[in-house]
């Protein structure tokens, strides 16, 4: 599990450019910052830094992790502030419903931080598909929902307070050896003959992937269906298929290539409360 504090150091390195500048900003020694970044590399199992002369810079994996972590850390801060506002000393049970890719990237780090800051607060995390989350919120099954509000599929209304947390691109995920791995934005129509991995039937991402393929005038040839994004990444990494995944779901531990779509598709990640 990646430590949010070390992720903040990585984000500062991308912004400030040098370990010395990061050390000054966080009141640490440069060697201490370097040690913490080395631990982060060990946590991710991925090389995040490379030396150029007497300086270090982020690898491509390090850049991806820093940029995606920044949005997630802001979401964590927002969640913590929201829960802190429930009272001077939050206590009791808060039930959080959220979708798969937000669990390991957002919910688990946030719950860990909240458990440390507010030991009397219990947060129960429930995995819900986006189309399930708002009905669960309205029905009292969860107190807070992290969901998506795109594509006109969710029944919104004045009974809910919505806060936009982030926008997450939908990416084409390819094996690292794929001929298109080094290109820029791609047209899905060029991948009509490829084997595809889709999410389970009736899930949010399965429906979105099918819709995007059909808009590109082809029916995907399904090689596998998984209800777990890590299994999808393993299948793609092995060269057995390609897939459409939200950016949050792309784990840097897997050797895959990601490409933006020529016609960009972005989902809006939203917190909803009654």
Q: Report the candidate in 87, 2, 18 with the shortest Cα–Cα distance to residue 58.
A: 18
CB 196 within 8 A of CB 223: yes
Residue 176 lies in a domain: yes
pLDDT of 133 strictly over 80: yes
State the distance between the two ends of the chain, measured CA to CA, in whole angstroms.
32
| Residue where a domain stops, chosen among 43, 68, 93 | 68
Last residue of one domain, picked from the residues 167, 192, 217: 167
**Antiparallel, parallel or unpaired: β 161-174 and 221-225:** unpaired
Contacts of 74 (CB under 8 A, 6+ apart): 165, 166
- Decide if 273 is inside a domain: no
Q: Say whether both 62 and 128 belong to one domain.
A: no
Number of compact structural domains in the chain? 3
117 and 49 both lie in a single domain: no
> What's the average model confidence in pLDDT over 147-169?
73
Give a yes or no: residue 64 inside a domain: yes
- Considering the domain architecture, whether residues 64 and 84 belong to the same structural domain is answered as no
Q: Per the domain annotation, does 271 fall within a domain?
A: no
pLDDT at 166 > cutoff 60: yes
Report the CATH number at residue 100.
3.40.190.10
Structural domain boundaries, residue 94: 72-167
Query: Of the candidates 272, 22, 26, which has an alpha carbon nearest to the alpha carbon of residue 165?
Result: 272
Shared-domain flag, residues 37 and 10:
yes
Which of 49, 68, 87 is the C-terminal boundary of a domain?
68
**Could you tell me if residue 272 is inside a domain?**
no
Q: What is the mean pLDDT of the chain?
A: 86
Choice between 242 and 70, residue whose per-residue pLDDT is larger: 242
* 274 in a structural domain: no
Taking the whole predicted model, whether its pTM rises above 0.75 is answered as no
- What pLDDT, in 10s, does the model give residues 57-80? 888 888 898 888 888 888 877 777
- Give the pLDDT of residue 88: 63
The CA-atom distances, in angstroms, between 111 and each of 2, 73, 94, 255 are: 14, 13, 10, 28
pLDDT of 5-17, one tens digit each? 888 888 888 888 8
Residue 151 pLDDT more than 70? Answer: no
pLDDT digits (tens, 9 = 90+) for 76-121: 777 777 766 665 677 788 899 998 888 877 888 888 888 888 888 8
Say if residues 36 and 30 touch (Cβ distance below 8 Å): no
Residue 204 neighbours by CB distance under 10 Å: 24
225: Cα within 13 Å, side-chain hemisphere = 13
Dihedral over alpha carbons 162, 166, 169, 174 (to 10 degrees): -120
Residues 213-240 pLDDT 10s: 999 999 999 999 999 999 999 999 999 9
User: Do 136 and 182 have their domain in common?
Assistant: no
């Amino acid at each position: 599990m990646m430590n949010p504090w070390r992720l903040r150091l990585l984000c500062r390195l991308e912004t400030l450019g040098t370990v010395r500048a990061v050390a000054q900003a966080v009141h640490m020694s440069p060697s201490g910052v370097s040690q913490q970044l080395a631990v982060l590399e060990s946590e991710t199992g991925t090389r995040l830094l490379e030396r150029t002369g007497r300086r270090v810079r982020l690898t491509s994996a390090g850049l991806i992790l820093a940029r995606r972590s920044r949005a997630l850390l802001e979401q964590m801060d927002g969640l913590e502030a929201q829960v802190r506002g429930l009272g001077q000393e939050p206590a009791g049970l808060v039930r959080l419903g959220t979708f798969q890719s937000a669990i390991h990237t957002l919910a688990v780090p946030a719950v860990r931080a909240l458990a440390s800051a507010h030991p009397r607060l219990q947060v129960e995390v429930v995995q819900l598909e986006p189309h399930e989350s708002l009905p669960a919120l309205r029905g009292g099954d969860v107190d807070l929902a992290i969901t998506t509000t795109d594509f006109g599929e969710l029944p919104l209304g004045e009974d809910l307070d919505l806060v936009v947390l982030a926008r997450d691109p939908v990416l084409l995920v390819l094996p690292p050896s794929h001929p298109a791995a080094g290109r820029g934005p791609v047209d899905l129509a060029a991948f009509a003959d490829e084997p595809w991995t889709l999410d389970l039937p009736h899930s949010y991402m399965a429906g979105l992937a099918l819709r995007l393929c059909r808009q590109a005038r082809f029916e995907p040839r399904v090689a596998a269906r998984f209800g777990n994004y890590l299994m999808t990444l393993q299948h793609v990494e092995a060269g057995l298929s390609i897939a459409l995944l939200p950016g949050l779901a792309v784990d840097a531990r897997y050797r895959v290539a990601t490409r933006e779509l020529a016609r960009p598709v972005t989902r809006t990640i939203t917190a909803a409360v009654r």
